[in-house]
């Protein structure tokens, strides 16, 4: 019997569509939105000015090769511009890599509480997502290596990971790479790398520079404050860059995004301010929440995973409702296998103080 309607490819209907962080609450309250790991400082004013200037040329297609932006990124990090590929957010690059390298029935590995897009991109390619257990909310290199099979095509690793905030030191990432067969692509997703202040951390540039099967992705959505524009980039081996150039749309990044991204990366002072803000408030919020008796997973990103008690009145779901009633939006992370936790983005000083005060009340301590 012929199908009575168009049928999508295998895997597509297994995808639970990504649910973004909420952005509004009931009533007239102006919400405090700490649900998507955006920066409370906003973008560099220079990026905003470049974005506005781009309004004069909206009739023209953007530079399809993102040449100026790639040159600027290359100059900033000391990279080969030919091996940089820009995308409409790093999500697009993750998807393109999955579509290019994972075929029907082939496997891609990610860690248990890893970023959700890895599963979505794998299923979207007809592949089989393999979630590997973590240890203490951290990716487990031995478990990942034990899950590799002859038909494994990609290992996805967010470092630091969202939503746990944990990271793997460079030695561990190197050990992971050493254990992978040469045909497996290791995708290091370094969306939060600018926030990390650890001597043993490396975002992935070194491995990409020295190995033929590692790709690093980066984003302008987090510390650069340009989430609305959708801009990310990947640093790749030459052969992978060639593949991405074949499969990406010819004008996959808009002209305002290219202009703003270039100005943003050159404004080091703005990034330094954002790092300093996070360095001050991340430990402050963590300590205050622990004082309330909540468990907080140690984070090196701009967000915290907060674990709530099992008692229904003190649970993550109850906390979420309580906070929303006060105009505060954190992120439920049940879809990440963490039904007992909420993720909180580090906000402005005022936001952070208000969340802590509200949770103090929720925990019955005010
Ligand atoms: C680990 C990780 N990778 C990638 C992304 C996607 O970023 P982009 O806005 O560049 O698509 C996010 C966004 O939340 C993320 O947390």
Handedness of CA 83, 210, 115, 278 (dihedral sign): negative
In short, whether 302's Cβ falls inside 6 Å of ligand 1 is: no
Nearest CA to ligand 1 atom 12: 191
The residue among 127, 91, 92, 133 whose CA lies nearest residue 110 is 133
Distance separating alpha carbons of residues 250 and 263, to the nearest angstrom: 23
Distance 94 CA to ligand 1 centre (A): 9
What pLDDT, on the 0 to 100 scale, is given for residue 30? 82
Query: Which atom of ligand 1 is closest in space to residue 92's alpha carbon?
Result: 11
In short, whether 166's Cβ falls inside 6 Å of ligand 1 is: no
Distance 3 CA to ligand 1 centre (A): 37
Q: How many of the other CB atoms lie within 10 Å of CB of 325?
A: 13
In short, whether 162's Cβ falls inside 6 Å of ligand 1 is: yes
Distance separating alpha carbons of residues 150 and 359, to the nearest angstrom: 48
Can you give the pLDDT of all 366 residues of the chain as single tens digits? 788 999 999 899 999 888 887 888 877 778 999 999 999 999 999 999 999 999 999 999 999 999 999 999 999 999 999 999 999 999 999 999 999 999 999 999 999 999 999 999 999 999 999 999 999 999 999 999 999 999 999 999 999 999 999 999 999 999 999 999 999 999 999 999 999 999 999 999 999 999 999 999 999 999 999 999 999 999 999 999 999 999 999 999 999 999 999 999 999 999 999 999 999 999 999 999 999 999 999 999 999 999 999 999 999 999 999 999 999 999 999 999 999 999 999 999 999 999 999 999 999 997
What pLDDT, on the 0 to 100 scale, is given for residue 3? 85
CB 308 within 8 A of CB 314: yes
pLDDT in tens, 316-357: 999 999 999 999 999 999 999 999 999 999 999 999 999 999
Query: Which atom of ligand 1 is closest in space to residue 37's alpha carbon?
Result: 14
What pLDDT, on the 0 to 100 scale, is given for residue 325? 94
CB 153 within 8 A of CB 108: yes
- pTM for the model: 0.96
What pLDDT, on the 0 to 100 scale, is given for residue 26? 79
Q: Where are the alpha helices (DSSP H) in the chain?
A: 45-53, 67-77, 89-101, 117-124, 141-147, 170-179, 205-210, 238-247, 255-266, 268-291, 316-325, 349-362
φ/ψ of 361, rounded to 5, equals: -65, -45
Residues written for the chain:
366
Q: Which residue is it, tokens 């040469």?
A: 182
Q: Rounded to whole angstroms, what are the CA distances from 355 to 32, 83, 349? A: 9, 42, 10
Using CB atoms within 10 Å of the CB of residue 229, give its burial: 0 to 12 exposed, 13 to 18 middle, 19+ buried. Answer: buried
Distance separating alpha carbons of residues 233 and 88, to the nearest angstrom: 8
Q: How many of the other CB atoms lie within 10 Å of CB of 346?
A: 27
Most distant CA atoms of the chain, gap in Å: 66
Nearest CA to ligand 1 atom 2: 191
In short, whether 89's Cβ falls inside 6 Å of ligand 1 is: yes
What pLDDT, on the 0 to 100 scale, is given for residue 96? 98
Residue from 90, 160, 195 to probe ligand 1 pocket by mutation (most atoms less than 8 Å from CB): 90
Distance separating alpha carbons of residues 49 and 186, to the nearest angstrom: 37
In short, whether 193's Cβ falls inside 6 Å of ligand 1 is: no
What pLDDT, on the 0 to 100 scale, is given for residue 23? 80
Strands 303-307 and 295-297 come out as antiparallel
Distance separating alpha carbons of residues 203 and 216, to the nearest angstrom: 8
In short, whether 304's Cβ falls inside 6 Å of ligand 1 is: no
CB 163 within 8 A of CB 191: no
DSSP 46: H
Nearest CA to ligand 1 atom 3: 191
Q: Rounded to whole angstroms, what are the CA distances from 51 to 48, 89, 90, 168? A: 5, 16, 19, 35
Nearest CA to ligand 1 atom 16: 162
């Amino acid at each position: 019997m012929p199908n009575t309607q168009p049928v999508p490819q295998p895997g597509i209907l297994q995808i639970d569509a990504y649910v973004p962080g909420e952005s509004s609450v009931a009533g007239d309250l102006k919400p405090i939105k700490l649900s998507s790991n955006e920066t409370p400082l906003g973008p560099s004013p220079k990026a905003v000015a470049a974005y506005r200037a781009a309004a004069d040329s909206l009739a023209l297609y953007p530079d399809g090769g993102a040449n100026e932006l790639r040159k600027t990124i290359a100059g900033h990090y000391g990279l080969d511009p030919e091996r940089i590929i820009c995308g409409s957010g790093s999500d697009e690059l993750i998807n393109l890599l999955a579509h290019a390298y994972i075929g029907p029935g082939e496997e891609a590995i990610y860690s248990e509480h890893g970023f959700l897009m890895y599963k979505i991109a794998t299923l979207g390619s007809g592949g089989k997502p393999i979630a590997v257990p973590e240890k203490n909310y951290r990716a487990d290199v031995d478990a990942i290596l034990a899950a590799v099979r002859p038909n494994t095509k990609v290992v996805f690793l967010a470092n630091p990971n969202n939503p746990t905030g944990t990271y793997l030191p460079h030695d561990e990432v190197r050990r992971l790479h050493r254990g992978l067969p040469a045909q497996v692509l290791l995708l290091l997703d370094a969306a939060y790398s600018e926030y990390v202040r650890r001597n043993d951390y490396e975002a992935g540039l070194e491995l990409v520079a020295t190995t033929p099967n590692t790709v690093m992705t980066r984003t302008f959505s987090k510390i650069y404050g340009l989430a609305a524009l959708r801009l990310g980039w990947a640093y790749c081996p030459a052969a992978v860059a060639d593949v991405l150039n074949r499969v990406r749309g010819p004008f996959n990044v808009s002209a305002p995004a290219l202009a703003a991204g270039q100005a943003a990366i050159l404004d080091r002072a703005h990034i330094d301010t954002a790092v300093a803000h996070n360095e001050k408030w991340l430990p402050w919020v963590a300590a205050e929440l622990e004082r309330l008796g909540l468990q907080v997973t140690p984070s090196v990103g701009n967000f915290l995973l907060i674990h709530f008690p099992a008692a229904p009145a003190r649970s993550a779901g109850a906390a979420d409702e309580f906070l929303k009633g006060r105009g505060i939006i954190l992120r439920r992370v049940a879809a990440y296998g963490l039904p007992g936790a909420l993720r909180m983005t580090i906000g402005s000083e005022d936001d952070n103080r208000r969340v802590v005060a509200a949770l103090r009340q929720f925990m019955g301590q005010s």
